Amino acid sequence: MPKTLYDKIWDSHVIVPETDAPAIIFIDLHLIHEVTSPQAFDELRKRGLRVRRTDLTVGTADHSIPTTTRVISPTEDREAYDQVTKLTTNCRDFDIRLYGLGTAEQGIVHVIGPELGVTQPGKTIVCGDSHTSTHGAFGALAFGIGTTEVGHVLASQSLLQRKARNLEISVSGQLKPGVTAKDVILYIISKIGTAGGSGCVIEYTGSAIRALNMDGRMTVCNMSIEAGARAGMVAPDDTTFEYLAGRPMAPQGAEWDKAVARWRTLPTDAEAAYDRAISFSADDIEPMISFGTNPGMTIPITGIVPADDTEELRKALKYMALEPGKPLLGHPIDVVFIGSCTNSRLSDLRAAAEVFKGRKVAANVRTVVVPGSQQIKNLAEAEGLDKIFKEAGAEWRESGCSMCIAMNADKLEPGQISVSTSNRNFEGRQGPGGRTLLASPLTAAASAITGRVTDLRRLSRT
């Protein structure tokens, strides 16, 4: 029977098939971080259990750590210090590989998995973080789980799970200049809504998706959860294999050849049917920006804020202090954040640096650039990107989740409005009372220069 990419990965990981009870599936890679793991380790201790597969478990600290320094201070943030220390203790006690604060491999969990080559096609990958869908860019089945489930995977390397439906979202044609992967996914969510992918695993297909590099595919898959989907994936191809070749934890030598041969069998069979399919044309996609308080509330950057004809929109626009019927272009902003598991990779930083080069950020705008990992930081610095950011007047930080989740000192003040390359514009997401406009690194950088919401395509080189 012809199968989709998702069907193939699912079928090859079922240990016990679904009955009244969910299936038990095997997990190939478990990523852990400081925020959603401590209570899971406590549960293991309470039950006297060990971690079943320490070889399939990788930890890092990313959410609550500072990005101004590589040392976490108990006097500045006792709770964050305790949380990060607890992760270190847990990984030591349970013999888990930890790329902790201060190591060369540390970074946002969804950035370092691919970078280390431990994220691979055909794997089942979980993490106590909803943006685990990022890893689906490699043709893996990757999704976020809760802390109780983190405990299940630590103890059993498996998970109770019901199969989701297959949803194909295809984007055909060629993206227009100035339109990025971030615009593609924001566009998709604006069309299908924040619950549009509920109960589904999305496979992104079509020439516009296929043409994206791995960083771009990760950006698209990353925000699948913002459409309510369990996971998002892109079939592996030569772009995928080129990215992975030679990575430290990717297969090497003869093992590599065998792996690639196996990975080539993963893409959806020609005759396979999806439960649902939605098609979009790249021609219709403009640079996008959110105006409201969920990622579905997104418009083309040249568009106008829609009428507040529902209770939800009234509430959102009131919170955002935006007027219906008015353009967002030219709206003054306070902060620009370039970073997060959505847009903190080298391609994102290069794109932003290209805009910043030879320009200065507006005097009244605080601009913070946070690389996704220490490795990306080093690569960016080797190319001189840090100098471009600093000369433009932006802050250049150490890696972490930073202002995407505002668990450390990086946050908006109440009432401030940001253009942010992160993934969520929920009320208070970037700090209590803070307001977020989600956009691409290009739009964020252009807006930093003018101090207003700006369409890069209209930014003059003076």
Name the residues that contact other proteins, by CB under 8 A: 15-16, 20-22, 24, 26, 35-36, 38-39, 42-43, 47, 52-53, 63-64, 77, 79-80, 82-83, 86, 128-130, 144-149, 151-152, 155-160, 194-195, 198-199, 225-226, 228, 230, 294, 296, 311-312, 315, 405-407, 424, 426-429, 432-433
Q: For residue 361, which of 384, 395, 319, 311 has the smallest C-alpha distance?
A: 395
| Shortest Å, Cβ 369 to other proteins | 21
In the bound complex, what is the minimum distance in angstroms from residue 433's beta carbon to other proteins? 8
Q: In this structure, what token pair is assigned to residue 444?
A: 């964020």
> Rounded to the nearest whole angstrom, what is the least distance from the CB of residue 184 to other proteins in the complex?
21
- Dig out the tokens for 272 from the structure: 């396979």
What is the nearest approach in angstroms of other proteins to the Cβ of residue 40? Answer: 9
How long is the chain?
Answer: 462
d(CA 140, CA 266) in angstroms, rounded, equals 10
Q: Which two tokens stand for residue 21?
A: 């009870």
**Nearest CB to other proteins, comparing residues 39 and 73:** 39
Which is closer to other proteins, CB of 86 or CB of 176? 86
CB nearer to other proteins: pick between 146 and 246: 146
Mention every residue, 6+ apart, whose C-beta is less than 8 A from residue 167. Answer: 197, 200, 201, 202, 203, 229, 274, 275, 276, 277, 278
Task: Rank residues 119 and 157 by Cβ distance to other proteins and give the closer one.
Answer: 157
Return the residue matching tokens 């956009």: 439
- Residue number, 87 or 250, with CB nearest to other proteins: 87
CB of 388 to other proteins, least distance (A): 31
Contact 164, 273 (CB under 8 A): no
CA dist 104 → 85, 308, 325, 375, 378 (Å) = 18, 48, 49, 7, 9
Cβ at position 230, least distance to other proteins in Å: 6
Least distance to other proteins, CB of residue 15, Å: 5
* 340 φψ region: left (φ > 0), alpha (ψ -120 to 50), beta (else): left
CA distance 184 to 386: 27
The least distance separating other proteins from the CB of residue 78, rounded to whole angstroms, comes to: 9
Neighbours of 316 (CB within 10 A): 21
Q: In this complex, which beta carbon is closest to other proteins, that of residue 198 or of residue 239?
A: 198
Q: How far is the CB of 69 from other proteins (least distance, A)?
A: 18
Residue 103 CA to its chain's centroid (Å): 22
Nearer to other proteins, 115 or 427 (CB): 427
Closest approach, Cβ 186 to other proteins, in A, equals 16
Q: Are 294 and 194 in contact (CB under 8 A)?
A: yes
Q: How far is the CB of 444 from other proteins (least distance, A)?
A: 21
- Judged by beta carbon, residue 264 or residue 315, the one nearer other proteins is 315
Which is closer to other proteins, CB of 155 or CB of 304? 155
Nearer to other proteins, 107 or 128 (CB): 128
Query: 118: alpha, beta or left, given left = phi > 0 and alpha = psi -120 to 50?
Result: alpha
Terminal Cα-to-Cα distance of the chain (whole angstroms): 60
Q: Nearer Cβ to other proteins, position 46 or 461?
A: 46
